[in-house]
Every structure is written in structure tokens, then in C-alpha cells.
Amino acid sequence: MAKKDKEIKTNAMRMLDRMKIPYEVLQYELEAFEDGIQIADLEGVPREESFKTLVMRGKSGDYYVFVLPIEKEVDLKAAARAVGEKAVEMIHVKDITAITGYVRGGCSPIGMKKKFRTVIAEEANGFDEIYVSGGRIGSTLHLKTADLIRAAEAVTAAITAPAAP
């Protein structure tokens, strides 16, 4: 298990430790968060193995977590179908911390304040290991895809928008 620096432990890391799931922490420094592509390039990791975490609200009022490749966009209709909603929409940036306990750019699909239904894009199944936010800006987790699915109690589904022609 990664034990680099006790000062950087996040809820996501503590949860993985409790579950005895091995992971690696990649740390980076950044003046201002832009997007996951910037982070992957900064860390020198493959973009296609790097995933972002989006939090959405369904028509029912329930919140959902969607994890998808950083270079892809979510297909809102497919995401809604994956969680049995008529529609879903992104939560406002100002609400991220109150809902998840994490900040924009540091939102991990593991260890949020509350447990939300989580869907990981089916593209993740093509990789033994993937990269996701470590739970704070400056930390990325590298772990087995199957371990992420288990830790997040997630399912995989087709939730990304088709590539533009």
C-alpha cells in the first residue's frame, strides 16, 4: 500500500487502506486546476487510463457519481438510463464540497461524505489499472480497475458520448 506522506491522507486513501486495497499515490503541484488532461500530462500518465469524477443530480433529487475517461464527455441520456432516472444534470461547482466533501479538481469516487450510486464508464474495463483523483488537488490514485469498482461499490455502463465524426 502507498504510504508516502501522512499529511496527504484523504478519505479515499483511508478507505482503501481499511479495505486493504493496494494503490499508488502520484503527487503533483499546480497553480490552478484546469482539467484532468492537464494533470495526466503533468504526471506523465496515459490519458486514456486517466478518469474524471462527475457528480450529477437526477430528477428524483438523488445524487449520482459518474467516472469517465478524461478525454470524453458524459452522455446525459445514457447516464440517466444507467441509474434509472428520466434525466440527470451536473451539480453546480459551488455545491461540490457540500455534497461530496471534496473540492472541484479533487473529487474522488471513493470516500465521499455520503455513499452515492456510482457508475464507471465501460471503457475502464479495457485497463487492468486506471488513475482517478486521490481526494484532493495534488493527488492522483493509481489502482486496479477491479479494486476501484469494489471500493466504490460501482457498476460499469456505457455512459460516454459517441466521438464526433
Q: How do residues 86-100 score in pLDDT, each as one tens digit? A: 999 999 989 999 999
pLDDT at residue number 27: 86
**Backbone angle region of 60, left / alpha / beta, with phi > 0 → left and psi within -120 to 50 → alpha:** alpha
pLDDT at residue number 165: 55
Instruction: Name the percent of the chain lying above pLDDT 90.
Output: 71
pLDDT at residue number 33: 63
Q: Tell whether the model's pLDDT for residue 6 goes beyond 60.
A: no
Q: Whole-number mean pLDDT of the chain?
A: 90
Chain segment 49-71, per-residue pLDDT in tens: 999 999 999 999 999 999 999 99
Query: Helix (H, G, I), strand (E, B), or coil: what is residue 39?
Result: helix
Residue identified by cell 447516464 is 79
pLDDT at residue number 109: 95
Quote the cell numbers at residue 64: 449520482
How many Å apart are CA 153 and CA 111, to the nearest integer? 11
CB 68 within 8 A of CB 54: yes
The candidate with the shortest Cα–Cα distance to 136, out of 59, 26, 58, 56, is: 26
CATH topology of domain 28-157: YbaK protein (3.90.960)
pLDDT at residue number 7: 56
CA 40 to chain centre: 14
- Buried b vs exposed e over 117-137: b needs ≥16 C-beta within 10 Å? bbbbbebbeeeeebbbbbbbb
Average pLDDT of the residues in 156-160:
97
Chain segment 33-52, per-residue pLDDT in tens: 678 888 888 888 899 999 99
Q: Tell whether the model's pLDDT for residue 110 goes beyond 50.
A: yes
Q: Tell whether the model's pLDDT for residue 1 goes beyond 80.
A: no
